[in-house]
Amino acid sequence: MNVIASQKPGNAQRDVLEVARSWLEQHGRAVLATVASTWGSAPVPVGGQMVVAPGERFHGSVSGGCVEAEVIAEAAEVMAGGAPKLLAFGVDEEAAWRAGLPCGGRIEILLEPLERERDAGTLDRILTARRAREPLAVVTDLATGTRRLSSGEGEPAEITSCLAAGESRLLDMSGGRVFVQAFMPPVRIVIAGATHIGQRLAALARQTGYDVVVVDPRAAFASEERFGDTELVTGWPDASLAAVGIDERTAVVALTHASHIDDEALTAALRSPCLYIGALGSKRTHAKRIDRLKTAGVGEAELARIHAPVGLAIGAKGPAEIAVSILAEIIQVARGA
């Protein structure tokens, strides 16, 4: 069977940088607000972004409550003045809820002016790298506001470590203070099996911000009616996973309950460097699966990579709860927890 991929977005919500690029084309200027550092409790982690366009139009989030209202007001001044600005907010517990810092804390937010002629190319390069799942860092000099893109090659150790860890940070370098915004490919979850659990897992994972692809040769199962605008690939797993491309930031979950489909998906995943492999089924079902895969020549070390029964052992029952347990296990592995 041929592999057929529907051309659909991986995430339900538009990316902040995509909106920034669109608004830059429309308005000619905008301001990008980025969480540069946090201490204590903050609802948005370092690297979280919001774009502000003329007329106080905004998209994304950097905190909440009074903090974002002030960020939008400051953005208007940055837009007019053309110079970057680092804002600091410290909130005690008494005022925490009003300001959007649930338990008190401190955050720093970097405001960067964007202009169409100067910055459109930079945004295009970032978005292209993101679509190609290529790691990329934006290094901003806080004194001058100059930005440069970096793949990490030839950079000081402090910057390469940011990119390797996928963590954005404020750094005090010999030439001055810089902010390193690390753009790592999002974790992608490939669901082999357009089942009821697959439906719940796809919806939940997309709401959480993961890229999701559903693979199933049964076109009646892998349909828009059942999965909305989730990316669907209708083909056998071996060819489908090769077409999708399985990298170190991909999780593969086999959910069909059809052994010939699941086994093919697992075999393809085991040949890849993917970060997580999970398979639905009881311990007895998995033992039979292991025997089949051994007969097919899969080694013990490879088989040990499979998480089965899939999901954290939280007593989950029904498709929705099982999907929660699977996503929780993927998060645990992806975060190294």
CATH number, residue 222? 3.40.50.720
How many independent structural domains does the chain possess? 3
Residue 99 pLDDT level (bands cut at 50, 70, 90): low
* Cβ-contact 191, 210 below 8 angstroms: no
Q: What is the average per-residue pLDDT within 13-23?
A: 89
Please give the residue that has the higher pLDDT: either 179 or 105.
Answer: 179
For the entire predicted model, the pTM comes to: 0.76
Same domain, 201 and 331: yes
Same domain, 177 and 220: no
- Inside any domain, residue 106: yes
Question: What is the extent of the structural domain holding 102?
Answer: 16-115
- The pLDDT of residue 254 is 97
Q: Put the strands of the sheet holding 85-91 in their side by side order.
A: 57-60, 49-53, 29-40, 105-115, 85-91
- Inside any domain, residue 157: yes
Examine the fold and report which residue of 63, 89, 115 is the final residue of a domain before the chain moves on.
115
Whole-number percent of the chain with pLDDT over 90: 75
For residue 30, give the nearest of 112, 143, 141 by alpha carbon: 112
Same domain, 57 and 176: no
Q: What is the average per-residue pLDDT within 41-53?
A: 88
For residue 133, give the nearest of 190, 203, 180 by alpha carbon: 190
- Inside any domain, residue 150: yes
Same domain, 47 and 181: no
Whole-number percent of the chain with pLDDT over 70: 91
Same domain, 196 and 234: yes
Please give the residue that has the higher pLDDT: either 90 or 309.
Answer: 309
- Report how far apart, in Å, the C-alpha atoms of 271 and of each of 54, 131, 242, 247, 326 are: 50, 23, 10, 11, 22
Q: Which helix (H) or strand (E) holds 208?
A: helix 196-208
- Inside any domain, residue 68: yes
- Inside any domain, residue 121: no
Same domain, 316 and 190: yes
- The pLDDT of residue 114 is 95
- Inside any domain, residue 137: yes
Same domain, 237 and 282: yes
- Report how far apart, in Å, the C-alpha atoms of 149 and of each of 94, 138, 156, 274 are: 41, 5, 14, 27
- The pLDDT of residue 336 is 86
Q: What is the average per-residue pLDDT within 295-300?
A: 95
Find where tokens 């692809």 sit: 213
- Inside any domain, residue 5: no
CB-based contacts of 51, cutoff 8 Å, min separation 6: 16, 17, 19, 20, 23, 30, 31, 32, 33, 58, 59, 60
For residue 9, pLDDT beyond 60:
no
